[in-house]
Protein backbone atom coordinates (compact mmCIF):
# COMPACT_ATOMS: atom_id res chain seq x y z
CA UNK A 1 0.00 0.00 0.00
CA UNK A 2 1.30 3.45 -0.94
CA UNK A 3 1.01 6.38 1.48
CA UNK A 4 0.42 8.62 -1.57
CA UNK A 5 -0.36 6.69 -4.75
CA UNK A 6 1.05 8.61 -7.72
CA UNK A 7 1.50 5.54 -9.91
CA UNK A 8 -2.20 4.88 -10.44
CA UNK A 9 -2.73 8.47 -11.49
CA UNK A 10 0.19 8.34 -13.90
CA UNK A 11 -1.24 5.25 -15.60
CA UNK A 12 -4.38 7.23 -16.43
CA UNK A 13 -2.60 10.23 -17.92
CA UNK A 14 0.72 8.80 -19.13
CA UNK A 15 -0.20 9.27 -22.77
CA UNK A 16 -1.13 12.92 -22.19
CA UNK A 17 2.04 13.54 -20.17
CA UNK A 18 4.22 11.96 -22.83
CA UNK A 19 2.54 14.06 -25.53
CA UNK A 20 2.98 17.28 -23.59
CA UNK A 21 6.61 16.58 -22.68
CA UNK A 22 7.35 15.69 -26.31
CA UNK A 23 5.87 19.04 -27.35
CA UNK A 24 8.27 20.84 -24.98
CA UNK A 25 11.21 18.88 -26.38
CA UNK A 26 10.10 19.76 -29.90
CA UNK A 27 9.75 23.52 -29.37
CA UNK A 28 12.73 23.73 -27.02
CA UNK A 29 11.43 26.62 -24.89
CA UNK A 30 12.46 25.07 -21.59
CA UNK A 31 12.28 28.37 -19.68
CA UNK A 32 8.98 30.33 -19.76
CA UNK A 33 7.66 28.23 -22.61
CA UNK A 34 4.05 28.35 -23.85
CA UNK A 35 2.92 25.65 -21.40
CA UNK A 36 3.59 28.04 -18.50
CA UNK A 37 1.16 30.59 -19.90
CA UNK A 38 -1.36 27.92 -20.88
CA UNK A 39 -1.31 26.62 -17.31
CA UNK A 40 -1.75 30.13 -15.93
CA UNK A 41 -4.85 30.56 -18.11
CA UNK A 42 -6.26 27.24 -16.90
CA UNK A 43 -5.65 28.22 -13.28
CA UNK A 44 -7.36 31.59 -13.75
CA UNK A 45 -10.37 29.80 -15.19
CA UNK A 46 -10.39 27.23 -12.39
CA UNK A 47 -10.18 29.77 -9.56
CA UNK A 48 -12.15 32.58 -11.13
CA UNK A 49 -9.40 35.10 -10.35
CA UNK A 50 -7.78 37.69 -12.64
CA UNK A 51 -4.15 36.61 -12.45
CA UNK A 52 -2.19 33.38 -11.98
CA UNK A 53 1.62 33.50 -11.94
CA UNK A 54 3.50 30.20 -12.27
CA UNK A 55 6.58 30.07 -10.03
CA UNK A 56 9.43 27.79 -9.05
CA UNK A 57 8.02 26.33 -5.82
CA UNK A 58 5.44 26.80 -3.12
CA UNK A 59 8.15 28.15 -0.83
CA UNK A 60 9.26 30.71 -3.40
CA UNK A 61 5.66 31.73 -4.01
CA UNK A 62 5.26 32.71 -0.35
CA UNK A 63 8.52 34.62 -0.33
CA UNK A 64 7.64 36.41 -3.56
CA UNK A 65 4.28 37.45 -2.13
CA UNK A 66 6.01 38.93 0.91
CA UNK A 67 8.58 40.65 -1.29
CA UNK A 68 5.87 42.17 -3.46
CA UNK A 69 4.24 43.59 -0.33
CA UNK A 70 7.53 45.10 0.82
CA UNK A 71 7.96 42.94 3.92
CA UNK A 72 11.38 43.29 5.50
CA UNK A 73 13.32 44.02 8.70
CA UNK A 74 11.22 45.59 11.43
CA UNK A 75 7.98 44.10 10.10
CA UNK A 76 5.87 41.35 11.65
CA UNK A 77 3.96 38.61 9.85
CA UNK A 78 1.32 36.55 11.66
CA UNK A 79 1.08 32.82 10.95
CA UNK A 80 0.82 29.45 12.71
CA UNK A 81 3.42 27.13 14.26
CA UNK A 82 1.53 24.03 13.01
CA UNK A 83 2.64 23.86 9.38
CA UNK A 84 5.60 23.00 7.18
CA UNK A 85 8.60 25.23 7.85
CA UNK A 86 8.35 27.09 4.51
CA UNK A 87 5.56 29.32 5.79
CA UNK A 88 7.68 30.82 8.57
CA UNK A 89 11.03 30.28 6.88
CA UNK A 90 10.36 32.87 4.18
CA UNK A 91 9.43 35.47 6.79
CA UNK A 92 12.77 34.97 8.51
CA UNK A 93 14.67 34.99 5.22
CA UNK A 94 13.37 38.50 4.55
CA UNK A 95 14.45 39.69 7.99
CA UNK A 96 10.93 40.11 9.35
CA UNK A 97 9.64 38.68 12.63
CA UNK A 98 7.37 35.65 12.64
CA UNK A 99 4.47 36.10 15.05
CA UNK A 100 2.93 32.73 15.81
CA UNK A 101 -0.66 32.31 16.97
CA UNK A 102 -2.34 29.08 18.02
CA UNK A 103 -4.76 26.98 16.01
CA UNK A 104 -8.36 25.89 16.46
CA UNK A 105 -9.04 22.61 18.26
CA UNK A 106 -11.35 21.27 15.56
CA UNK A 107 -10.08 22.47 12.16
CA UNK A 108 -6.41 22.71 13.25
CA UNK A 109 -6.20 25.94 11.28
CA UNK A 110 -5.32 29.43 12.54
CA UNK A 111 -7.61 30.79 15.26
CA UNK A 112 -9.05 34.11 14.00
CA UNK A 113 -9.68 35.45 17.51
CA UNK A 114 -6.00 35.05 18.33
CA UNK A 115 -5.04 36.75 15.06
CA UNK A 116 -6.91 39.86 16.18
CA UNK A 117 -5.04 39.85 19.50
CA UNK A 118 -1.64 39.47 17.78
CA UNK A 119 -1.92 42.49 15.48
CA UNK A 120 0.40 45.42 16.26
CA UNK A 121 1.44 48.54 14.42
CA UNK A 122 4.30 46.46 12.97
CA UNK A 123 2.05 43.81 11.41
CA UNK A 124 2.73 43.86 7.66
CA UNK A 125 0.85 40.71 6.63
CA UNK A 126 -1.24 37.79 7.88
CA UNK A 127 -0.51 34.35 6.43
CA UNK A 128 -3.12 31.66 7.24
CA UNK A 129 -2.45 28.08 6.12
CA UNK A 130 -5.08 25.65 4.80
CA UNK A 131 -3.84 22.62 6.72
CA UNK A 132 -4.58 19.09 5.52
CA UNK A 133 -6.93 20.22 2.77
CA UNK A 134 -9.39 22.82 4.03
CA UNK A 135 -9.04 26.58 4.27
CA UNK A 136 -8.85 28.63 7.41
CA UNK A 137 -11.84 30.83 8.25
CA UNK A 138 -10.83 33.28 5.55
CA UNK A 139 -14.04 35.30 5.94
CA UNK A 140 -13.18 36.12 9.55
CA UNK A 141 -9.49 36.69 8.84
CA UNK A 142 -10.18 39.05 5.94
CA UNK A 143 -12.63 41.00 8.12
CA UNK A 144 -10.11 41.28 10.95
CA UNK A 145 -7.40 42.41 8.52
CA UNK A 146 -9.70 45.03 7.00
CA UNK A 147 -10.77 46.36 10.40
CA UNK A 148 -7.10 46.68 11.39
CA UNK A 149 -6.45 49.08 8.54
CA UNK A 150 -6.25 46.86 5.52
CA UNK A 151 -3.47 44.45 6.45
CA UNK A 152 -2.66 42.23 3.44
CA UNK A 153 -3.67 38.58 3.76
CA UNK A 154 -1.61 35.90 2.00
CA UNK A 155 -3.43 32.56 1.77
CA UNK A 156 -1.07 29.59 1.92
CA UNK A 157 -3.15 27.13 -0.10
CA UNK A 158 -0.41 24.55 -0.71
CA UNK A 159 -2.55 21.82 0.87
CA UNK A 160 -6.03 23.27 0.36
CA UNK A 161 -5.87 24.11 -3.35
CA UNK A 162 -9.10 22.84 -4.90
CA UNK A 163 -11.10 23.21 -1.69
CA UNK A 164 -13.84 25.81 -1.27
CA UNK A 165 -14.84 28.34 1.38
CA UNK A 166 -18.46 29.47 1.05
CA UNK A 167 -18.39 28.49 -2.60
CA UNK A 168 -15.13 30.22 -3.51
CA UNK A 169 -11.95 28.34 -4.40
CA UNK A 170 -8.98 28.21 -2.07
CA UNK A 171 -6.19 30.35 -3.47
CA UNK A 172 -8.59 33.13 -4.46
CA UNK A 173 -9.80 34.07 -0.98
CA UNK A 174 -7.54 37.01 -0.14
CA UNK A 175 -5.33 39.71 -1.64
CA UNK A 176 -2.88 37.06 -2.79
CA UNK A 177 -3.03 33.27 -2.71
CA UNK A 178 -0.23 30.75 -3.06
CA UNK A 179 -0.01 27.07 -3.85
CA UNK A 180 2.56 24.35 -4.40
CA UNK A 181 2.91 21.78 -7.17
CA UNK A 182 5.13 19.50 -5.07
CA UNK A 183 4.34 15.92 -6.16
CA UNK A 184 2.42 14.96 -3.01
CA UNK A 185 0.07 17.96 -3.17
CA UNK A 186 -3.52 17.58 -4.44
CA UNK A 187 -2.41 19.16 -7.73
CA UNK A 188 1.25 18.21 -8.01
CA UNK A 189 3.86 17.98 -10.72
CA UNK A 190 6.90 15.71 -10.95
CA UNK A 191 9.24 18.16 -9.27
CA UNK A 192 9.09 21.58 -7.66
CA UNK A 193 6.67 24.27 -8.77
CA UNK A 194 3.95 26.58 -7.54
CA UNK A 195 1.70 29.49 -8.38
CA UNK A 196 0.42 32.80 -7.07
CA UNK A 197 -3.08 34.23 -7.53
CA UNK A 198 -4.48 37.73 -7.22
CA UNK A 199 -7.10 40.10 -8.58
CA UNK A 200 -4.80 43.09 -8.04
CA UNK A 201 -3.31 44.19 -11.39
CA UNK A 202 -0.42 46.16 -9.88
CA UNK A 203 0.50 43.37 -7.48
CA UNK A 204 0.38 40.79 -10.30
CA UNK A 205 2.75 42.90 -12.39
CA UNK A 206 5.16 43.21 -9.47
CA UNK A 207 5.04 39.45 -8.86
CA UNK A 208 5.88 38.80 -12.51
CA UNK A 209 8.88 41.13 -12.22
CA UNK A 210 10.05 39.40 -9.04
CA UNK A 211 9.94 35.90 -10.55
CA UNK A 212 12.27 37.13 -13.33
CA UNK A 213 15.02 38.74 -11.23
CA UNK A 214 13.00 41.94 -10.84
CA UNK A 215 12.92 42.48 -14.60
CA UNK A 216 10.18 44.62 -16.12
CA UNK A 217 11.54 44.30 -19.64
CA UNK A 218 14.77 43.02 -21.13
CA UNK A 219 17.84 44.59 -19.51
CA UNK A 220 15.69 46.73 -17.19
CA UNK A 221 15.28 45.74 -13.52
CA UNK A 222 13.34 48.28 -11.43
CA UNK A 223 13.32 46.06 -8.32
CA UNK A 224 15.27 43.17 -6.79
CA UNK A 225 13.75 39.79 -7.58
CA UNK A 226 14.71 36.12 -7.63
CA UNK A 227 14.95 33.30 -10.13
CA UNK A 228 11.38 32.26 -9.44
CA UNK A 229 10.22 30.88 -12.79
CA UNK A 230 8.08 27.78 -13.21
CA UNK A 231 9.88 25.17 -15.30
CA UNK A 232 8.16 24.52 -18.64
CA UNK A 233 8.37 20.73 -18.17
CA UNK A 234 6.59 20.97 -14.82
CA UNK A 235 3.91 23.18 -16.35
CA UNK A 236 3.37 20.50 -19.00
CA UNK A 237 2.93 17.82 -16.33
CA UNK A 238 0.54 19.92 -14.23
CA UNK A 239 -1.52 20.70 -17.34
CA UNK A 240 -2.01 16.98 -17.93
CA UNK A 241 -3.02 16.51 -14.30
CA UNK A 242 -5.52 19.36 -14.41
CA UNK A 243 -7.65 17.30 -16.78
CA UNK A 244 -8.33 14.94 -13.84
CA UNK A 245 -8.25 17.40 -10.96
CA UNK A 246 -11.95 17.95 -10.32
CA UNK A 247 -12.64 14.21 -10.57
CA UNK A 248 -9.76 13.51 -8.18
CA UNK A 249 -11.10 16.01 -5.65
CA UNK A 250 -14.37 14.06 -5.61
CA UNK A 251 -12.47 10.78 -5.28
CA UNK A 252 -10.46 12.15 -2.33
CA UNK A 253 -13.68 13.17 -0.63
CA UNK A 254 -15.10 9.70 -1.22
CA UNK A 255 -12.01 8.11 0.33
CA UNK A 256 -12.35 10.42 3.35
CA UNK A 257 -16.02 9.45 3.67
CA UNK A 258 -14.95 5.79 3.58
CA UNK A 259 -12.51 6.39 6.43
CA UNK A 260 -15.13 8.33 8.40
CA UNK A 261 -17.67 5.52 8.12
CA UNK A 262 -15.23 2.77 9.09
CA UNK A 263 -13.58 4.67 11.95
CA UNK A 264 -16.61 6.30 13.55
CA UNK A 265 -16.55 3.73 16.37
CA UNK A 266 -12.85 4.12 17.12
CA UNK A 267 -11.52 6.25 19.98
CA UNK A 268 -10.02 8.78 17.59
CA UNK A 269 -10.67 12.41 16.74
CA UNK A 270 -11.50 12.37 13.03
CA UNK A 271 -11.03 15.29 10.63
CA UNK A 272 -13.59 18.07 11.02
CA UNK A 273 -14.66 20.19 8.07
CA UNK A 274 -16.08 23.56 9.12
CA UNK A 275 -19.48 24.78 7.98
CA UNK A 276 -19.16 26.48 4.60
CA UNK A 277 -15.95 24.62 3.78
CA UNK A 278 -15.06 21.65 1.61
CA UNK A 279 -11.78 19.79 1.92
CA UNK A 280 -9.52 18.21 -0.70
CA UNK A 281 -7.98 16.00 2.01
CA UNK A 282 -4.35 16.56 1.12
CA UNK A 283 -3.93 14.26 4.09
CA UNK A 284 -6.40 12.27 6.17
CA UNK A 285 -5.29 12.94 9.72
CA UNK A 286 -6.65 11.58 13.00
CA UNK A 287 -5.74 12.29 16.61
CA UNK A 288 -4.98 9.69 19.27
CA UNK A 289 -2.93 9.75 22.48
CA UNK A 290 -1.80 6.24 21.46
CA UNK A 291 -0.17 7.49 18.27
CA UNK A 292 3.12 5.59 18.60
CA UNK A 293 1.37 2.30 19.33
CA UNK A 294 -0.99 2.88 16.43
CA UNK A 295 1.83 3.68 14.02
CA UNK A 296 3.65 0.52 15.07
CA UNK A 297 0.54 -1.61 14.59
CA UNK A 298 -0.12 -0.08 11.17
CA UNK A 299 3.49 -0.63 10.11
CA UNK A 300 3.32 -4.28 11.14
CA UNK A 301 0.41 -4.70 8.72
CA UNK A 302 2.17 -2.90 5.91
CA UNK A 303 0.19 0.32 6.30
CA UNK A 304 2.32 3.48 6.05
CA UNK A 305 1.51 6.50 8.22
CA UNK A 306 3.13 9.85 8.99
CA UNK A 307 3.01 12.03 12.13
CA UNK A 308 3.24 15.39 10.37
CA UNK A 309 4.65 18.44 12.19
CA UNK A 310 5.38 16.42 15.35
CA UNK A 311 7.84 19.14 16.36
CA UNK A 312 5.95 22.41 15.79
CA UNK A 313 7.77 25.44 14.46
CA UNK A 314 7.94 27.40 17.70
CA UNK A 315 10.01 24.54 19.19
CA UNK A 316 12.35 24.18 16.21
CA UNK A 317 15.97 25.28 16.80
CA UNK A 318 15.80 27.50 13.71
CA UNK A 319 13.31 29.76 15.53
CA UNK A 320 14.99 29.77 18.93
CA UNK A 321 15.53 33.53 18.60
CA UNK A 322 11.77 33.98 19.12
CA UNK A 323 12.23 32.62 22.67
CA UNK A 324 9.20 30.35 22.68
CA UNK A 325 8.90 27.38 24.98
CA UNK A 326 6.70 24.35 25.51
CA UNK A 327 3.25 25.50 26.60
CA UNK A 328 3.17 28.71 24.56
CA UNK A 329 0.78 27.24 21.96
CA UNK A 330 -1.06 24.41 23.75
CA UNK A 331 -3.48 23.45 20.97
CA UNK A 332 -0.66 23.21 18.43
CA UNK A 333 1.37 21.10 20.84
CA UNK A 334 -1.53 18.77 21.55
CA UNK A 335 -2.27 18.23 17.85
CA UNK A 336 1.43 17.83 17.05
CA UNK A 337 1.82 15.12 19.69
CA UNK A 338 -1.29 13.12 18.77
CA UNK A 339 -1.82 13.58 15.02
CA UNK A 340 -1.15 10.80 12.53
CA UNK A 341 -1.93 10.81 8.81
CA UNK A 342 -3.21 7.72 7.02
CA UNK A 343 -2.78 6.73 3.36
CA UNK A 344 -4.63 9.23 1.18
CA UNK A 345 -4.94 9.71 -2.54
CA UNK A 346 -7.79 9.50 -5.05
CA UNK A 347 -6.79 5.86 -5.61
CA UNK A 348 -7.13 4.37 -2.12
CA UNK A 349 -9.28 1.27 -2.70
CA UNK A 350 -12.07 -0.25 -0.64
CA UNK A 351 -9.66 -3.07 0.24
CA UNK A 352 -7.10 -0.49 1.41
CA UNK A 353 -9.71 1.24 3.54
CA UNK A 354 -10.70 -2.06 5.14
CA UNK A 355 -7.08 -2.95 5.86
CA UNK A 356 -6.36 0.39 7.52
CA UNK A 357 -9.58 0.39 9.51
CA UNK A 358 -9.04 -3.18 10.68
CA UNK A 359 -5.56 -2.34 11.95
CA UNK A 360 -6.81 0.76 13.77
CA UNK A 361 -9.80 -0.95 15.36
CA UNK A 362 -7.55 -3.74 16.65
CA UNK A 363 -5.51 -1.31 18.79
For 147-176, how does the pLDDT look when each residue is reduced to its tens digit (9 = 90+)? Answer: 999 999 999 999 999 999 999 999 999 999
What's residue 37's pLDDT?
98
* Separation between Cα atoms, residue 192 and residue 204, nearest integer Å: 21
Mean pLDDT of the chain: 97
Q: Where are the domains of the chain?
A: 7-100+108-239, 244-361
Q: Which residues of 3-15 are buried (b: 16+ CB within 10 A; e: fewer)?
A: ebbeeebeebbee
Q: What is the mean pLDDT of residues 60-79?
A: 98
Question: Per residue in 83-129, pLDDT tens?
Answer: 999 999 999 999 999 999 999 999 999 999 999 999 999 999 999 99
Q: What is the mean pLDDT of residues 264-279?
A: 95
Which of the 8 DSSP states describes residue 264?
T
Rounded percentage of the chain residues whose pLDDT exceeds 70:
100
Q: What is the mean pLDDT of residues 294-322?
A: 96
Q: Name the band, by pLDDT with cuts 50, 70 and 90, for residue 285.
A: very high
Half-sphere exposure of 244 (CA within 13 A, CB side): 24
Cα 75 to Cα 123, 143, 150, 263, 294, distances in angstroms = 6, 21, 15, 45, 43
Q: Checking phi first, is residue 20 left (phi over 0); if not, alpha (psi -120 to 50) or beta? A: alpha
What's residue 172's pLDDT?
98
* Separation between Cα atoms, residue 213 and residue 223, nearest integer Å: 8
Q: What is the pTM of this model?
A: 0.96
Question: Per residue in 196-241, pLDDT tens?
Answer: 999 999 999 999 999 999 999 999 999 999 999 999 999 999 999 9
* Separation between Cα atoms, residue 322 and residue 333, nearest integer Å: 17
Class of 244-361 in CATH? alpha beta
* Separation between Cα atoms, residue 188 and residue 161, nearest integer Å: 10
Alpha-helical runs (H) found in the chain: 7-27, 34-47, 58-68, 86-93, 112-118, 138-147, 201-211, 232-263, 291-300, 330-338, 350-361
Check whether domain 7-100+108-239 has CATH 3.40.640.10, yes or no: yes
* Separation between Cα atoms, residue 203 and residue 51, nearest integer Å: 10
Q: At residue 244, what are phi and psi to the nearest 5 degrees?
A: -105, -5
What's residue 66's pLDDT?
98
Angle at 315 between CA 312 and CA 319, to 5 degrees: 105
Q: Name the band, by pLDDT with cuts 50, 70 and 90, for residue 363.
A: confident
What's residue 265's pLDDT?
85
Amino acid sequence: MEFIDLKSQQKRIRQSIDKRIAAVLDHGQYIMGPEVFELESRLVEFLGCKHAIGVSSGTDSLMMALMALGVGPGDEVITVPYTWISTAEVIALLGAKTVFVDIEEDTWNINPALVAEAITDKTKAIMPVGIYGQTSDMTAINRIAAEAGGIPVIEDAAQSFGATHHGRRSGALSLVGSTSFFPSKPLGGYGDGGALFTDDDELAERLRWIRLHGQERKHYHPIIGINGRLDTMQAAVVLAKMDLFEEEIALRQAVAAGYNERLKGASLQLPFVAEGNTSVYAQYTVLTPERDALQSKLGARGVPSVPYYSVPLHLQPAFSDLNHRMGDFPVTEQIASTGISLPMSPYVTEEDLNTVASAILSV
